[in-house]
Amino acid sequence: MSAIYILWLRELKRYVRSRAQIAASLGQPLLYLLALGFGLGPVFQKAGQGSYFQFVAPGVVSMTILFSSVFSGIAMLWDRQFGFLKETLVAPVPRIQIMIGRTVGGATVAVIQGLLVFVVAIIAGFRPHHWVSFFPALLFMMLIAIVFAALGTAFGSIVQDMQGFQLIMNFMVLPIFFLSGALFPLENLPKALVIITRIDPLTYGVDAMRGALISNIQFGFSVDTIVLCLIGTAFLTAGAYLFSRIQL
């Protein structure tokens, strides 16, 4: 367990020391939150859907966690390039502990960034239905972060260069985000789009976040939780297998 703690702590220290990374990682979420939240607000309100800012804020928080957790896999490529990964793998520690430590560290960083965006949303005017609902929302933030940090670790284990990793992640991450319902309601969609959104794992995270924060839920907390746990287990298993096959 000490290896898991050391790698988790290392990811946190790397994040805290990089002030530029913190500022840069908040740029895109704030653009979506403020520009879309207020820009499309009148259109959303005229359609009889209420406040678009209230609707989109949980989706943007989920988006922040998605991007941060998936791209935590890039850190593995840096470690591979500069030799730290080799030093870690030759240590007398089971690789599964190394993989779990990196995944949990990346997920923790992603949750922190999600909380920062959540605080900005509160300052800008977002109000949960009940402040106590923050705690179940935090739980779903953690589930989302673990699911996609495991996915990032899995891809970081098989991709050899950063260009390839960024291509794969951009090809997957953007569709995952845009098809999750983070920016639009899931009701009355075309049948083809309904099927795609149901396959998207982030759909259930966004749905759970909205249910916890603004009592707007479509699938139910039990369905969202079960799906996220099952997908998280599958990604962790795949990530552990691929990480164990890394060649020094």
List, for residues 123-179, the tens digit of each pLDDT value.
Answer: 888 888 888 888 999 999 999 999 998 888 888 778 777 677 777 767 888 889 888
Specify the DSSP class assigned to residue 155.
H
The per-residue pLDDT for 209 is 93
Which of 38, 53, 31, 60 lies closest to 202 in space, CA to CA?
60
* Range with the largest mean pLDDT of 6-10, 20-24, 99-103, 227-231: 227-231
What is the number of other CB atoms lying within 10 angstroms of the CB of residue 13?
A: 11
Residue with tokens 């009701």: 187
Decide: 142 and 228 in contact? Cβ < 8 Å. no
Specify the DSSP class assigned to residue 247.
-
SS3 160: coil
Tokens standing for 19?
Answer: 């002030």
- pTM greater than the 0.85 cutoff: yes
Q: Can you tell me the distance from the alpha carbon of 195 to that of 167, in angstroms, rounded to the nearest whole number?
A: 25
Domain limits at 210? 2-244
Alpha helices per DSSP H over the chain: 2-17, 19-30, 37-39, 41-46, 52-70, 74-82, 84-89, 95-124, 134-158, 162-178, 191-199, 201-214, 221-244
- The CA–CA distances, whole Å, from 92 to 76, 87, 98, 150 equal 19, 10, 11, 23
Q: Is the pLDDT of residue 199 over 60?
A: yes
The per-residue pLDDT for 144 is 94
User: pLDDT-based confidence at 29, cuts 50/70/90?
Assistant: confident
Q: Can you tell me the distance from the alpha carbon of 110 to that of 79, in angstroms, rounded to the nearest whole number?
A: 19
Q: Is the pLDDT of residue 226 over 90?
A: yes
Domain count, the chain: 1
Total residue length of the chain:
248
What is the number of other CB atoms lying within 10 angstroms of the CB of residue 213?
A: 24
DSSP string, 178-213: HTTTSSS--TT--HHHHHHHHH-HHHHHHHHHHHHH
The per-residue pLDDT for 88 is 67
List, for residues 83-109, the tens digit of each pLDDT value.
Answer: 666 666 666 667 777 778 888 888 888
Decide: 129 and 38 in contact? Cβ < 8 Å. no
